[in-house]
Amino acid sequence: MSTHNVWTHKGTFLLAAVGSAVGLGNLWRFPYLTGENGGGAFILIYALTIFAVGIPILIAEIMLGRNSRRSPIMGMRFLTSTHKTSRGWETIGWLGAASAFIILSFYSVIAGWALHYTGLMLTGSLDGADAETIGASFDALLASPPLLTLYHTLFIGASALIVGLGIHRGIENGLRVLMPALFVILMVVLVYSAAIGDLSAAATFLFTFNVADLSLEGWLQAMGQSFFTLSLGMGAIMAYGAYMSSDASLTRTAFAIAVVDTAVAMIAGLAIFALVFGAGLDPGEGPGLMFVTLPLAFAEMPAGPLLGGVFFILVLGAAISSSISLIEPVAAFLVERFDLERPQAVSAMVIASWALGLLTVFSFNLMAEDTLFHTLFGRSAFGLLELLTNIFMPLGGMLIALFAGWALTHGEVMKEMRTNESWFRLWRFLVRFIAPAAVAFVFLRTIPQVEG
């Protein structure tokens, strides 16, 4: 293995994986789904899936990447041929590419909202504003297809440029500053939200539960979100794992990713719901939740416009370090498989994903009341894309778990995990039986209800 195939520092895989994991999933999607699904019960299912299913699969996914040292689709092809198993396992790579393509399409639209808010903050437009004004300004943004399309284009273009130029592996220094800075400013936001809002109502909402309150679709969303937030089950982590140095610990790395990711989501959730309950807003507000609450805290803070601007810039940084990890596996595949030049591969993927993103843009305005789409699918186009990711990611994760659990040999796994026999046994039991059974259980309960 030549050195340029490996991350430049031993800790860089961790940094890149945290960069992929921490993003809009924590700050935007986690709070809004939790709010829509009534709070604690949703979080309970979410947390259970992270720790009993997510971490074992995270270990499996890094292992497959590091073992094959290839992009996900070519890596699965390589692993199935060396193990003389069915080429059907290559579905893992394909499914992952499909998920990445769909997620990028709406991820970029939402990141575009953060771009808009960076501007609103830095110009002081929302300084001192009340909840009503902030809500109205968000509605005005959603009503404008040209504006949303512009931001979507800028964000996806910037992500494509970073991957296309191959400099995504060089942004480790940026992440080293960005991640701690994001954490610090989130704590500041939390303190302000607690001061002007209702932190104890937030804590009650998030941490007390009645599982019977959770709808069936809520189960699927909670499981889907735990895969989404860890960037799991779709090849992003596998693609990065291919560059991970052989002597870094798989188990410790996987736990670190999950703990940091969960901490960021919880802090964001507490801050946002403290503001919601303080200002009498609706927890089930939907995808706009983050954007109609956090600006309230910045409206009150000293130097609020500046801090708010910095905050949304950091959000954009976290979003871009996630979006590049969506482009990377697909681009690497197109390069390996079709001999494309890197810039061509990236353009092909991103242009297609950009076009699909227009569906999400229009979901909030032109197609918001579109009866045909709603009658056919029972939800908006954006809702349908999210539903697909809630299914594809756990399905991909389940296949990864089964492959790592049943096809890899004891020797190979031990070579990667270098751990004691009892942790190996526990891990293998989790990926062979528990993780696949948990995914199957949620699918069997929920999917029959969701259709139609």
Residue 25 within binding range of ligand PFF, rule CB under 6 A: yes
Query: Quick one: 152 exposed, middle or buried, by C-beta within 10 A (0-12, 13-18, 19+)?
Result: buried
Site string for ligand PFF, 211-230 (x = CB under 6 A): -----------------xx-
Count of residues of this chain found to bind ligand PFF when the rule CB under 6 A is applied: 16
- The answer to whether 373 and 153 have CB atoms below 8 angstroms apart is no
Rg (CA), the chain: 21
Q: Candidates 22-30, 145-153, 179-187, 444-452: pick the segment binding ligand PFF (CB under 6 A).
A: 22-30
User: In terms of CB distance, is 79 or 182 closer to Na ion?
Assistant: 182
User: In terms of CB distance, is 68 or 322 closer to ligand PFF?
Assistant: 322
Q: Candidates 150-158, 167-175, 189-197, 322-330: pick the segment binding ligand PFF (CB under 6 A).
A: 322-330
User: In terms of CB distance, is 51 or 78 closer to Na ion?
Assistant: 51
Residue 193 within binding range of ligand PFF, rule CB under 6 A: no
User: In terms of CB distance, is 267 or 334 closer to Na ion?
Assistant: 267
Residue 34 within binding range of Na ion, rule CB under 5 A: no
- The answer to whether 303 and 192 have CB atoms below 8 angstroms apart is no
Residue 325 within binding range of ligand PFF, rule CB under 6 A: yes
Site for ligand PFF, residues 98 to 137, rule: CB under 6 A: 100, 103
Question: Binder to Na ion among 21, 63, 76, 104 (CB under 5 A)?
Answer: 21
Residue 54 within binding range of Na ion, rule CB under 5 A: no
Minimum distance, C-beta of residue 58 to Na ion, in the bound complex (Å): 12
Count of residues of this chain found to bind Na ion when the rule CB under 5 A is applied: 5
User: In terms of CB distance, is 92 or 281 closer to ligand PFF?
Assistant: 92
User: In terms of CB distance, is 138 or 228 closer to ligand PFF?
Assistant: 228
The alpha carbon of 393 is separated from its chain's Cα centroid by a whole number of angstroms, namely 10
Minimum distance, C-beta of residue 138 to ligand PFF, in the bound complex (Å): 20
Residue of 441, 164, 190, 116 lying closest to 328 (CA atoms) = 164
322 binds, among ligand PFF, Na ion, none (CB under 5 to 8 A by kind): ligand PFF
Minimum distance, C-beta of residue 46 to ligand PFF, in the bound complex (Å): 12
Residue 236 within binding range of ligand PFF, rule CB under 6 A: yes
Minimum distance, C-beta of residue 325 to ligand PFF, in the bound complex (Å): 5
Query: 3-class secondary structure for the chain?
Result: CCHHHCCCCCCHHHHHHHHHHCCHHHHHHHHHHHHHCCCHHHHHHHHHHHHHHHHHHHHHHHHHHHHHCCCHHHHHHHHHHHCCCCHHHHHHHHHHHHHHHHHHHHHHHHHHHHHHHHHHHHCCCCCCCCHHHHHHHHHHHHCCHHHHHHHHHHHHHHHHHHHHCCHHHHCHHHHHHHHHHHHHHHHHHHHHHHHHCCHHHHHHHHHCCCHHHCCHHHHHHHHHHHHHHCCCCCCHHHHHHCCCCCCCCHHHHHHHHHHHHHHHHHHHHHHHHHHHHHCCCCCCCCCCHHHHHHHHHHHHCCCHHHHHHHHHHHHHHHHHHHHHHHHHHHHHHHHHHHCCCHHHHHHHHHHHHHHHHHHHHHHCCCCCCCHHHHHHHCCCHHHHHHHHHHHHHHHHHHHHHHHHHHHCCHHHHHHHHCCCHHHHHHHHHHHHHHHHHHHHHHHHHHHHHHCC
Alpha carbons 336 and 330: distance in angstroms, whole number = 10
Residue 23 within binding range of ligand PFF, rule CB under 6 A: yes
Residue 390 within binding range of ligand PFF, rule CB under 6 A: no
Q: Candidates 19-27, 141-149, 359-367, 369-377: pick the segment binding ligand PFF (CB under 6 A).
A: 19-27
Residue 93 within binding range of ligand PFF, rule CB under 6 A: no
Residue 21 within binding range of ligand PFF, rule CB under 6 A: yes
User: In terms of CB distance, is 265 or 367 closer to Na ion?
Assistant: 265
36 binds, among ligand PFF, Na ion, none (CB under 5 to 8 A by kind): none
Residue 49 within binding range of ligand PFF, rule CB under 6 A: no
Query: Cβ-closest residue to ligand PFF?
Result: 25
- Which tokens is 247 given? 């002597």
Alpha carbons 102 and 89: distance in angstroms, whole number = 21
Residue 262 within binding range of ligand PFF, rule CB under 6 A: no
Residue 26 within binding range of Na ion, rule CB under 5 A: yes
Tokens 């394909």, residue? Answer: 94
Q: Candidates 24-32, 137-145, 168-176, 374-382: pick the segment binding Na ion (CB under 5 A).
A: 24-32
Site for Na ion, residues 229 to 248, rule: CB under 5 A: 229
User: In terms of CB distance, is 29 or 168 closer to Na ion?
Assistant: 29
Instruction: List contacts with Na ion (CB under 5 A).
Output: 21, 25-26, 229, 261
Instruction: List contacts with ligand PFF (CB under 6 A).
Output: 20-21, 23-26, 100, 103, 228-229, 231, 234, 236, 322, 325-326
